[in-house]
Protein backbone atom coordinates (compact mmCIF):
# COMPACT_ATOMS: atom_id res chain seq x y z
CA UNK A 1 0.00 0.00 0.00
CA UNK A 2 1.21 3.44 -0.84
CA UNK A 3 0.48 6.35 1.46
CA UNK A 4 -2.59 8.37 0.61
CA UNK A 5 -3.39 12.05 0.70
CA UNK A 6 -6.83 13.14 1.88
CA UNK A 7 -7.98 9.59 2.55
CA UNK A 8 -5.12 8.46 4.75
CA UNK A 9 -5.83 8.65 8.49
CA UNK A 10 -3.07 10.12 10.66
CA UNK A 11 -0.60 7.65 12.12
CA UNK A 12 0.49 7.46 15.75
CA UNK A 13 3.75 6.22 17.24
CA UNK A 14 5.05 4.45 14.16
CA UNK A 15 4.52 3.66 10.50
CA UNK A 16 0.99 2.60 9.61
CA UNK A 17 -0.30 2.73 13.17
CA UNK A 18 -3.79 3.92 12.36
CA UNK A 19 -5.81 5.20 15.34
CA UNK A 20 -9.51 4.70 15.97
CA UNK A 21 -11.97 7.50 15.15
CA UNK A 22 -14.04 8.64 18.14
CA UNK A 23 -15.98 11.88 18.51
CA UNK A 24 -14.24 13.45 15.53
CA UNK A 25 -10.74 12.66 16.82
CA UNK A 26 -8.14 10.06 15.89
CA UNK A 27 -7.17 8.26 19.09
CA UNK A 28 -5.17 5.22 20.25
CA UNK A 29 -6.45 2.80 22.87
CA UNK A 30 -6.37 4.03 26.43
CA UNK A 31 -3.72 1.42 27.28
CA UNK A 32 -1.79 1.87 24.01
CA UNK A 33 -2.30 -1.72 22.82
CA UNK A 34 -2.22 -2.46 19.09
CA UNK A 35 -3.36 -5.26 16.76
CA UNK A 36 -1.39 -6.29 13.67
CA UNK A 37 -3.31 -6.40 10.39
CA UNK A 38 -1.78 -8.99 8.07
CA UNK A 39 -2.07 -9.80 4.40
CA UNK A 40 -3.54 -13.33 4.07
CA UNK A 41 -1.57 -13.87 0.87
CA UNK A 42 1.87 -13.72 2.43
CA UNK A 43 1.47 -12.99 6.15
CA UNK A 44 3.09 -9.58 5.92
CA UNK A 45 1.95 -6.86 8.32
CA UNK A 46 0.17 -4.10 6.40
CA UNK A 47 -0.94 -1.95 9.34
CA UNK A 48 -1.74 -1.73 13.01
CA UNK A 49 -4.97 -0.65 14.73
CA UNK A 50 -5.80 0.00 18.38
CA UNK A 51 -7.00 -2.86 20.58
CA UNK A 52 -9.58 -0.69 22.30
CA UNK A 53 -10.65 -1.32 25.87
CA UNK A 54 -14.23 -1.31 27.16
CA UNK A 55 -13.99 2.31 28.33
CA UNK A 56 -12.83 3.40 24.86
CA UNK A 57 -15.89 1.82 23.23
CA UNK A 58 -18.13 3.36 25.88
CA UNK A 59 -16.62 6.74 25.01
CA UNK A 60 -17.56 6.18 21.36
CA UNK A 61 -21.12 5.23 22.34
CA UNK A 62 -21.35 8.34 24.55
CA UNK A 63 -20.15 10.49 21.66
CA UNK A 64 -22.70 9.00 19.28
CA UNK A 65 -25.46 9.41 21.85
CA UNK A 66 -24.55 13.04 22.50
CA UNK A 67 -24.43 13.81 18.75
CA UNK A 68 -27.70 12.15 17.81
CA UNK A 69 -29.76 15.36 17.97
CA UNK A 70 -27.03 17.28 16.16
CA UNK A 71 -27.15 15.01 13.09
CA UNK A 72 -30.94 14.72 13.28
CA UNK A 73 -31.25 18.51 13.09
CA UNK A 74 -29.02 18.71 10.02
CA UNK A 75 -31.41 19.25 7.06
CA UNK A 76 -31.87 16.07 5.02
CA UNK A 77 -30.51 17.77 1.91
CA UNK A 78 -27.30 18.58 3.81
CA UNK A 79 -26.92 14.93 4.85
CA UNK A 80 -27.43 13.88 1.24
CA UNK A 81 -24.83 16.38 0.02
CA UNK A 82 -22.39 15.10 2.64
CA UNK A 83 -22.67 11.59 1.24
CA UNK A 84 -22.13 12.93 -2.25
CA UNK A 85 -18.98 14.80 -1.15
CA UNK A 86 -17.65 11.68 0.54
CA UNK A 87 -18.29 9.65 -2.62
CA UNK A 88 -16.34 12.24 -4.62
CA UNK A 89 -13.37 12.02 -2.23
CA UNK A 90 -13.39 8.22 -2.36
CA UNK A 91 -13.62 8.29 -6.15
CA UNK A 92 -10.54 10.51 -6.33
CA UNK A 93 -8.44 7.88 -4.54
CA UNK A 94 -10.16 4.81 -5.92
CA UNK A 95 -6.93 2.96 -6.80
CA UNK A 96 -5.58 3.44 -3.29
CA UNK A 97 -8.77 2.05 -1.77
CA UNK A 98 -8.33 -0.99 -3.99
CA UNK A 99 -4.81 -1.43 -2.61
CA UNK A 100 -6.13 -1.34 0.96
CA UNK A 101 -8.83 -3.95 0.27
CA UNK A 102 -6.38 -6.27 -1.49
CA UNK A 103 -3.76 -5.94 1.24
CA UNK A 104 -5.97 -6.63 4.25
CA UNK A 105 -8.46 -9.17 2.82
CA UNK A 106 -6.44 -11.13 0.27
CA UNK A 107 -9.05 -10.31 -2.34
CA UNK A 108 -7.89 -10.59 -5.96
CA UNK A 109 -7.41 -7.11 -7.37
CA UNK A 110 -10.11 -7.55 -10.02
CA UNK A 111 -12.64 -8.41 -7.30
CA UNK A 112 -11.41 -5.59 -5.06
CA UNK A 113 -11.98 -3.11 -7.90
CA UNK A 114 -15.55 -4.35 -8.08
CA UNK A 115 -16.00 -3.78 -4.34
CA UNK A 116 -14.77 -0.21 -4.51
CA UNK A 117 -16.96 0.50 -7.53
CA UNK A 118 -20.00 -0.95 -5.75
CA UNK A 119 -19.26 1.14 -2.66
CA UNK A 120 -19.22 4.36 -4.65
CA UNK A 121 -22.41 3.38 -6.44
CA UNK A 122 -24.11 2.46 -3.15
CA UNK A 123 -23.30 5.87 -1.67
CA UNK A 124 -24.76 7.67 -4.67
CA UNK A 125 -27.86 5.49 -4.83
CA UNK A 126 -28.46 5.89 -1.10
CA UNK A 127 -28.30 9.66 -1.51
CA UNK A 128 -30.88 9.40 -4.30
CA UNK A 129 -33.14 7.02 -2.38
CA UNK A 130 -33.14 9.32 0.66
CA UNK A 131 -35.10 11.86 -1.37
CA UNK A 132 -38.03 9.44 -1.57
CA UNK A 133 -38.19 8.89 2.19
CA UNK A 134 -41.59 10.52 2.65
CA UNK A 135 -44.26 10.21 5.29
CA UNK A 136 -48.00 9.69 4.88
CA UNK A 137 -51.15 11.75 5.43
CA UNK A 138 -54.18 9.81 6.71
CA UNK A 139 -57.59 11.55 6.83
CA UNK A 140 -59.69 10.58 9.82
CA UNK A 141 -63.15 11.18 8.44
CA UNK A 142 -63.44 7.67 7.03
CA UNK A 143 -63.99 6.28 10.54
CA UNK A 144 -66.55 7.52 13.08
CA UNK A 145 -64.25 7.95 16.06
CA UNK A 146 -61.62 9.90 14.11
CA UNK A 147 -63.85 12.00 11.84
CA UNK A 148 -62.55 15.29 13.26
CA UNK A 149 -58.96 14.17 13.22
CA UNK A 150 -56.10 13.70 10.78
CA UNK A 151 -52.71 12.00 11.11
CA UNK A 152 -49.28 12.52 9.71
CA UNK A 153 -47.14 9.39 9.72
CA UNK A 154 -43.44 10.08 9.38
CA UNK A 155 -40.22 8.11 9.48
CA UNK A 156 -37.74 9.26 12.09
CA UNK A 157 -34.21 8.07 12.93
CA UNK A 158 -33.81 5.33 15.52
CA UNK A 159 -30.98 7.13 17.30
CA UNK A 160 -27.62 5.37 17.68
CA UNK A 161 -26.89 2.50 15.29
CA UNK A 162 -24.14 -0.02 16.01
CA UNK A 163 -22.80 -1.48 12.76
CA UNK A 164 -20.76 -4.66 13.19
CA UNK A 165 -19.19 -5.80 9.93
CA UNK A 166 -17.41 -8.90 8.55
CA UNK A 167 -14.04 -9.38 6.88
CA UNK A 168 -15.22 -10.35 3.43
CA UNK A 169 -16.42 -6.96 2.13
CA UNK A 170 -14.59 -4.64 4.52
CA UNK A 171 -15.37 -1.45 2.62
CA UNK A 172 -18.71 -2.14 0.94
CA UNK A 173 -20.70 -3.78 3.74
CA UNK A 174 -19.62 -1.17 6.28
CA UNK A 175 -20.43 1.68 3.90
CA UNK A 176 -23.78 0.06 3.09
CA UNK A 177 -24.65 0.29 6.79
CA UNK A 178 -23.17 3.71 7.53
CA UNK A 179 -24.67 5.55 4.54
CA UNK A 180 -28.36 4.78 5.16
CA UNK A 181 -27.93 5.27 8.90
CA UNK A 182 -26.46 8.75 8.49
CA UNK A 183 -28.75 9.89 5.71
CA UNK A 184 -31.74 8.88 7.84
CA UNK A 185 -30.41 11.05 10.68
CA UNK A 186 -28.83 8.47 12.98
CA UNK A 187 -25.37 8.45 14.52
CA UNK A 188 -23.22 5.35 14.08
CA UNK A 189 -20.62 3.32 15.93
CA UNK A 190 -18.86 0.89 13.60
CA UNK A 191 -16.97 -2.19 14.76
CA UNK A 192 -15.13 -3.54 11.69
CA UNK A 193 -13.73 -7.06 11.54
CA UNK A 194 -10.46 -7.54 13.41
CA UNK A 195 -8.96 -9.05 10.24
CA UNK A 196 -9.94 -6.17 7.95
CA UNK A 197 -10.34 -2.89 9.85
CA UNK A 198 -8.29 -0.58 7.62
CA UNK A 199 -10.85 0.05 4.88
CA UNK A 200 -13.32 1.56 7.32
CA UNK A 201 -10.70 3.90 8.80
CA UNK A 202 -9.95 5.24 5.33
CA UNK A 203 -13.71 5.58 4.75
CA UNK A 204 -14.02 7.52 8.02
CA UNK A 205 -11.31 9.89 6.87
CA UNK A 206 -13.36 10.63 3.74
CA UNK A 207 -16.45 11.31 5.88
CA UNK A 208 -14.40 13.62 8.11
CA UNK A 209 -13.10 15.52 5.08
CA UNK A 210 -16.66 15.75 3.73
CA UNK A 211 -17.71 17.67 6.86
CA UNK A 212 -19.46 15.10 9.05
CA UNK A 213 -20.21 16.50 12.55
CA UNK A 214 -18.07 15.13 15.38
CA UNK A 215 -19.61 12.08 17.02
CA UNK A 216 -21.90 11.23 14.11
CA UNK A 217 -19.55 8.44 12.97
CA UNK A 218 -17.23 6.53 15.28
CA UNK A 219 -14.95 3.62 14.32
CA UNK A 220 -13.92 1.29 17.13
CA UNK A 221 -11.30 -1.39 16.52
CA UNK A 222 -10.40 -4.40 18.59
CA UNK A 223 -11.25 -8.03 19.13
CA UNK A 224 -14.92 -8.84 18.99
CA UNK A 225 -14.86 -11.11 22.02
CA UNK A 226 -13.51 -8.20 24.08
CA UNK A 227 -15.59 -5.25 22.89
CA UNK A 228 -18.54 -6.71 20.97
CA UNK A 229 -20.63 -7.24 24.09
CA UNK A 230 -20.19 -3.59 25.02
CA UNK A 231 -22.13 -2.60 21.90
CA UNK A 232 -24.70 -5.37 22.25
CA UNK A 233 -25.51 -4.58 25.87
CA UNK A 234 -25.31 -0.78 25.91
CA UNK A 235 -28.64 0.91 26.72
CA UNK A 236 -27.54 3.87 24.59
CA UNK A 237 -27.51 1.79 21.41
CA UNK A 238 -30.90 1.81 19.68
CA UNK A 239 -30.23 -0.58 16.80
CA UNK A 240 -27.66 -3.19 15.85
CA UNK A 241 -26.95 -3.97 12.19
CA UNK A 242 -24.74 -7.03 12.03
CA UNK A 243 -23.39 -9.11 9.16
CA UNK A 244 -21.47 -12.25 10.09
CA UNK A 245 -21.76 -15.75 11.44
CA UNK A 246 -24.93 -17.21 12.88
CA UNK A 247 -23.19 -18.05 16.15
CA UNK A 248 -22.16 -14.43 16.73
CA UNK A 249 -25.56 -13.17 15.57
CA UNK A 250 -27.29 -15.38 18.12
CA UNK A 251 -24.98 -14.10 20.84
CA UNK A 252 -25.77 -10.50 19.91
CA UNK A 253 -29.50 -11.23 19.95
CA UNK A 254 -29.23 -12.83 23.39
CA UNK A 255 -27.62 -9.69 24.83
CA UNK A 256 -29.37 -6.93 22.89
CA UNK A 257 -32.59 -6.73 24.89
CA UNK A 258 -35.22 -4.55 23.20
CA UNK A 259 -32.91 -3.06 20.56
CA UNK A 260 -34.00 -3.21 16.95
CA UNK A 261 -31.94 -5.87 15.14
CA UNK A 262 -31.01 -6.34 11.50
CA UNK A 263 -28.95 -9.54 11.25
CA UNK A 264 -27.57 -11.01 8.03
CA UNK A 265 -26.04 -14.29 9.09
CA UNK A 266 -24.80 -17.55 7.57
CA UNK A 267 -26.09 -19.26 4.46
CA UNK A 268 -26.00 -22.58 2.66
CA UNK A 269 -27.09 -21.46 -0.78
CA UNK A 270 -28.48 -24.29 -2.88
CA UNK A 271 -28.39 -24.25 -6.69
CA UNK A 272 -31.15 -26.49 -8.07
CA UNK A 273 -30.37 -27.78 -11.58
CA UNK A 274 -33.51 -29.26 -13.13
CA UNK A 275 -33.35 -31.77 -15.95
CA UNK A 276 -34.43 -29.21 -18.57
CA UNK A 277 -31.85 -26.60 -17.52
CA UNK A 278 -29.41 -24.93 -19.89
CA UNK A 279 -26.36 -26.80 -18.57
CA UNK A 280 -23.78 -24.46 -20.08
CA UNK A 281 -25.41 -21.49 -18.36
CA UNK A 282 -25.88 -23.39 -15.10
CA UNK A 283 -22.24 -24.49 -14.96
CA UNK A 284 -20.94 -21.01 -15.68
CA UNK A 285 -23.18 -19.29 -13.13
CA UNK A 286 -22.68 -21.90 -10.42
CA UNK A 287 -18.89 -21.81 -10.78
CA UNK A 288 -18.91 -18.04 -10.41
CA UNK A 289 -21.39 -18.19 -7.56
CA UNK A 290 -19.30 -20.72 -5.66
CA UNK A 291 -15.76 -19.52 -6.38
CA UNK A 292 -15.93 -15.73 -6.48
CA UNK A 293 -13.78 -14.34 -3.66
CA UNK A 294 -12.88 -17.91 -2.74
CA UNK A 295 -16.48 -18.66 -1.77
CA UNK A 296 -16.15 -16.39 1.29
CA UNK A 297 -19.60 -14.87 0.84
CA UNK A 298 -22.84 -15.49 2.70
CA UNK A 299 -24.66 -15.55 -0.66
CA UNK A 300 -22.25 -18.05 -2.24
CA UNK A 301 -23.50 -21.19 -3.96
CA UNK A 302 -22.36 -23.77 -1.42
CA UNK A 303 -24.18 -26.90 -2.64
CA UNK A 304 -25.46 -28.04 -6.03
CA UNK A 305 -28.58 -30.22 -6.25
CA UNK A 306 -28.63 -31.64 -9.79
CA UNK A 307 -31.10 -34.04 -11.37
CA UNK A 308 -29.45 -37.40 -11.92
CA UNK A 309 -30.55 -37.52 -15.59
CA UNK A 310 -28.27 -34.59 -16.45
CA UNK A 311 -25.70 -34.92 -13.65
CA UNK A 312 -22.86 -36.38 -15.73
CA UNK A 313 -23.23 -33.76 -18.46
CA UNK A 314 -23.50 -30.95 -15.91
CA UNK A 315 -20.44 -32.07 -13.90
CA UNK A 316 -18.32 -32.20 -17.05
CA UNK A 317 -19.28 -28.62 -17.84
CA UNK A 318 -18.72 -27.53 -14.26
CA UNK A 319 -15.17 -28.93 -14.27
CA UNK A 320 -14.43 -27.01 -17.47
CA UNK A 321 -15.64 -23.77 -15.83
CA UNK A 322 -13.75 -24.33 -12.58
CA UNK A 323 -10.53 -24.74 -14.58
CA UNK A 324 -10.92 -21.07 -15.57
CA UNK A 325 -10.29 -19.91 -11.98
CA UNK A 326 -6.52 -19.82 -11.40
CA UNK A 327 -4.92 -19.24 -8.02
CA UNK A 328 -2.12 -16.70 -7.82
CA UNK A 329 -0.81 -13.31 -6.81
CA UNK A 330 -3.74 -11.20 -5.62
CA UNK A 331 -2.23 -8.15 -7.35
CA UNK A 332 -2.39 -9.87 -10.74
CA UNK A 333 -5.48 -8.99 -12.77
CA UNK A 334 -5.66 -12.58 -14.05
CA UNK A 335 -5.86 -14.14 -10.60
CA UNK A 336 -9.31 -15.46 -9.72
CA UNK A 337 -8.60 -17.34 -6.48
CA UNK A 338 -6.75 -15.72 -3.59
CA UNK A 339 -6.13 -16.93 -0.04
CA UNK A 340 -8.68 -17.68 2.64
CA UNK A 341 -8.75 -15.12 5.42
CA UNK A 342 -7.00 -17.18 8.15
CA UNK A 343 -5.23 -20.53 8.62
CA UNK A 344 -8.23 -21.56 10.73
CA UNK A 345 -10.51 -21.08 7.72
CA UNK A 346 -8.26 -23.36 5.63
CA UNK A 347 -8.22 -26.03 8.32
CA UNK A 348 -12.01 -25.98 8.56
CA UNK A 349 -12.42 -26.28 4.78
CA UNK A 350 -10.06 -29.25 4.79
CA UNK A 351 -12.08 -30.91 7.55
CA UNK A 352 -15.15 -30.79 5.34
CA UNK A 353 -13.30 -32.13 2.29
CA UNK A 354 -11.74 -35.00 4.23
CA UNK A 355 -15.05 -35.88 5.88
CA UNK A 356 -16.74 -36.04 2.47
CA UNK A 357 -13.95 -38.15 0.97
CA UNK A 358 -14.04 -40.59 3.86
CA UNK A 359 -17.75 -41.13 3.26
CA UNK A 360 -17.50 -41.74 -0.49
CA UNK A 361 -17.46 -38.34 -2.21
CA UNK A 362 -15.29 -38.07 -5.32
CA UNK A 363 -12.78 -35.22 -5.57
CA UNK A 364 -12.87 -34.32 -9.26
CA UNK A 365 -10.89 -31.08 -9.01
CA UNK A 366 -8.67 -29.52 -6.36
CA UNK A 367 -9.13 -30.71 -2.82
CA UNK A 368 -5.82 -29.46 -1.45
CA UNK A 369 -4.26 -26.23 -0.26
CA UNK A 370 -0.97 -24.30 -0.28
CA UNK A 371 -0.49 -22.00 2.69
CA UNK A 372 -3.77 -20.09 2.99
CA UNK A 373 -4.69 -20.78 -0.64
CA UNK A 374 -7.36 -23.47 -0.94
CA UNK A 375 -7.68 -24.99 -4.40
CA UNK A 376 -10.98 -24.55 -6.23
CA UNK A 377 -12.60 -27.89 -5.54
CA UNK A 378 -15.42 -29.97 -7.01
CA UNK A 379 -16.81 -32.80 -4.86
CA UNK A 380 -19.13 -35.16 -6.73
CA UNK A 381 -21.58 -37.71 -5.29
CA UNK A 382 -21.94 -35.86 -2.02
CA UNK A 383 -24.64 -37.38 0.18
CA UNK A 384 -26.75 -35.97 3.04
CA UNK A 385 -24.70 -37.80 5.69
CA UNK A 386 -21.66 -35.63 4.88
CA UNK A 387 -21.00 -32.45 6.84
CA UNK A 388 -20.48 -30.36 3.72
CA UNK A 389 -24.08 -31.03 2.68
CA UNK A 390 -25.19 -28.85 5.60
CA UNK A 391 -22.31 -26.77 6.95
CA UNK A 392 -21.30 -23.46 5.40
CA UNK A 393 -17.79 -23.97 3.99
CA UNK A 394 -16.83 -20.33 3.21
CA UNK A 395 -14.23 -21.71 0.82
CA UNK A 396 -13.98 -22.39 -2.96
CA UNK A 397 -15.62 -25.81 -2.74
CA UNK A 398 -18.60 -26.93 -4.84
CA UNK A 399 -20.32 -30.08 -3.47
CA UNK A 400 -22.55 -31.80 -6.04
CA UNK A 401 -25.51 -33.82 -4.74
CA UNK A 402 -27.31 -35.99 -7.30
CA UNK A 403 -31.08 -36.25 -6.78
CA UNK A 404 -33.95 -38.20 -8.31
CA UNK A 405 -36.63 -35.50 -8.49
CA UNK A 406 -37.57 -31.89 -7.92
CA UNK A 407 -39.34 -32.96 -4.73
CA UNK A 408 -36.06 -34.35 -3.40
CA UNK A 409 -34.31 -31.12 -4.32
CA UNK A 410 -36.87 -29.09 -2.40
CA UNK A 411 -36.66 -31.40 0.60
CA UNK A 412 -32.86 -31.13 0.80
CA UNK A 413 -32.85 -27.39 0.15
CA UNK A 414 -35.48 -26.61 2.79
CA UNK A 415 -34.11 -29.02 5.37
CA UNK A 416 -31.18 -26.66 5.93
CA UNK A 417 -31.17 -24.54 9.08
CA UNK A 418 -30.27 -21.60 6.84
CA UNK A 419 -32.54 -19.62 4.54
CA UNK A 420 -30.67 -16.79 2.86
CA UNK A 421 -30.32 -17.43 -0.89
CA UNK A 422 -30.88 -20.12 -3.48
CA UNK A 423 -31.07 -20.41 -7.25
CA UNK A 424 -33.05 -22.47 -9.74
CA UNK A 425 -31.93 -23.45 -13.24
CA UNK A 426 -34.65 -24.44 -15.70
CA UNK A 427 -35.97 -23.38 -19.10
CA UNK A 428 -39.59 -23.73 -17.95
CA UNK A 429 -40.86 -20.49 -16.40
CA UNK A 430 -43.77 -22.28 -14.76
CA UNK A 431 -41.42 -24.74 -13.04
CA UNK A 432 -39.15 -21.88 -12.01
CA UNK A 433 -42.04 -19.99 -10.42
CA UNK A 434 -43.42 -23.08 -8.71
CA UNK A 435 -40.08 -24.15 -7.25
CA UNK A 436 -39.16 -20.61 -6.15
CA UNK A 437 -42.42 -20.24 -4.22
CA UNK A 438 -41.69 -23.42 -2.26
CA UNK A 439 -38.11 -22.55 -1.31
CA UNK A 440 -37.75 -21.17 2.23
CA UNK A 441 -35.10 -18.56 1.41
CA UNK A 442 -35.12 -14.80 1.65
CA UNK A 443 -34.22 -14.54 -2.05
CA UNK A 444 -34.35 -16.93 -5.01
CA UNK A 445 -32.54 -16.26 -8.31
CA UNK A 446 -33.74 -17.92 -11.51
CA UNK A 447 -31.05 -18.99 -14.00
CA UNK A 448 -28.28 -17.11 -12.22
CA UNK A 449 -26.15 -17.26 -9.11
CA UNK A 450 -27.32 -15.32 -6.03
CA UNK A 451 -25.69 -11.91 -5.70
CA UNK A 452 -26.77 -9.06 -3.47
CA UNK A 453 -24.81 -6.55 -5.55
CA UNK A 454 -25.27 -2.89 -4.67
CA UNK A 455 -28.58 -3.68 -2.98
CA UNK A 456 -31.05 -2.60 -5.65
CA UNK A 457 -33.21 -5.59 -4.72
CA UNK A 458 -33.94 -6.12 -1.00
CA UNK A 459 -32.35 -9.19 0.59
CA UNK A 460 -32.08 -10.90 3.94
CA UNK A 461 -32.30 -14.23 5.66
CA UNK A 462 -34.94 -16.52 7.12
CA UNK A 463 -34.43 -19.16 9.81
CA UNK A 464 -30.83 -19.06 11.12
CA UNK A 465 -29.79 -16.76 8.29
CA UNK A 466 -31.05 -13.76 10.18
CA UNK A 467 -33.79 -11.18 10.41
CA UNK A 468 -34.61 -7.89 8.74
CA UNK A 469 -33.91 -6.82 5.19
CA UNK A 470 -31.12 -4.83 3.59
CA UNK A 471 -30.85 -2.94 0.34
CA UNK A 472 -30.75 0.66 -0.83
CA UNK A 473 -34.29 1.47 0.29
CA UNK A 474 -34.77 -1.42 2.71
CA UNK A 475 -31.80 -0.38 4.84
CA UNK A 476 -33.12 3.16 5.25
CA UNK A 477 -36.47 1.74 6.35
CA UNK A 478 -34.80 -0.59 8.87
CA UNK A 479 -32.85 2.34 10.31
CA UNK A 480 -35.93 4.49 10.85
CA UNK A 481 -39.08 4.04 12.90
CA UNK A 482 -42.62 5.22 12.33
CA UNK A 483 -44.06 8.10 14.35
CA UNK A 484 -47.74 8.96 14.04
CA UNK A 485 -48.84 12.52 14.88
CA UNK A 486 -52.61 12.88 15.31
CA UNK A 487 -54.21 16.30 15.02
CA UNK A 488 -57.61 16.90 16.56
CA UNK A 489 -59.24 19.47 14.28
CA UNK A 490 -62.37 21.55 14.92
CA UNK A 491 -65.26 20.40 12.70
CA UNK A 492 -65.52 22.32 9.45
CA UNK A 493 -68.71 24.21 8.68
CA UNK A 494 -70.68 22.49 5.93
CA UNK A 495 -73.43 24.02 3.76
CA UNK A 496 -75.61 20.92 3.97
CA UNK A 497 -77.47 19.19 6.74
CA UNK A 498 -76.13 15.64 6.30
Please give the pLDDT value at position 132.
85
Q: How far apart are the first and last CA of the chain?
A: 78
Q: Are 197 and 224 in contact (CB under 8 A)?
A: no
What pLDDT is stored for residue 493 in this prediction?
A: 61
To the nearest whole number, what is the mean pLDDT of the chain?
94
- Give, in order, the Cα–Cα distances in Å from 453 to each of 123, 172, 457: 13, 10, 8
Residue 335 makes CB contacts below 8 A (sequence gap 6+) with 108, 109, 110, 326, 327, 328, 329
Active site (annotated) includes residue 298: yes
Alpha carbon of residue 205 to chain centroid: 21
pTM for the model stands at 0.93
| Predicted pLDDT at 14 | 67
- Please give the Cα distance from 373 to 375 (Å, whole number): 6
Q: Which stretches in the chain have pLDDT values below 50? A: 1-4, 498
Active-site residue flag, 275: no
Query: What domains lie within the chain, and their CATH numbers?
Result: 20-265+465-483 (3.40.605.10), 269-446 (3.40.309.10)
pLDDT in tens, 2-43: 444 567 888 876 678 999 999 999 999 999 999 999 999 999
The residue annotated as part of the active site, out of 264, 285, 375, 392, is: 264
| Of 236, 127, 120, 136, the residue nearest 180 (C-alpha) | 127
Q: What is the pLDDT of residue 133?
A: 82
What does the pLDDT read at residue 47? 95
State residue 226's pLDDT score: 86
The pLDDT of residue 10: 82
pLDDT value of position 134: 84
Options 8, 195, 208, 298, the catalytic residue? 298
Amino acid sequence: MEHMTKLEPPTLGGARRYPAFINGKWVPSSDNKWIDVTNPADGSVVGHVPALARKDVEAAIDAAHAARRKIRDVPAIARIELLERAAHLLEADRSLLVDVVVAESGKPVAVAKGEVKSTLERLRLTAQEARSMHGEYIPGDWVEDTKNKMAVVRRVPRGVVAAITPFNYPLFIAAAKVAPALVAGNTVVVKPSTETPLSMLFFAKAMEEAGLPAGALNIVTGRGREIGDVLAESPRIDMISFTGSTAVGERIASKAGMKHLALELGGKGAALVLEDANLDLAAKEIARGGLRFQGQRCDAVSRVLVHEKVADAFVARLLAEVAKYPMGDTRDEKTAIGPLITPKAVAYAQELVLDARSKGAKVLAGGGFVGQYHEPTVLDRVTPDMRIAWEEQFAPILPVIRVHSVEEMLDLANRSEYGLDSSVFTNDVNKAWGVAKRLEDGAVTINGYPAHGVGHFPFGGNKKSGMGREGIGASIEEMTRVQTIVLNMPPAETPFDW
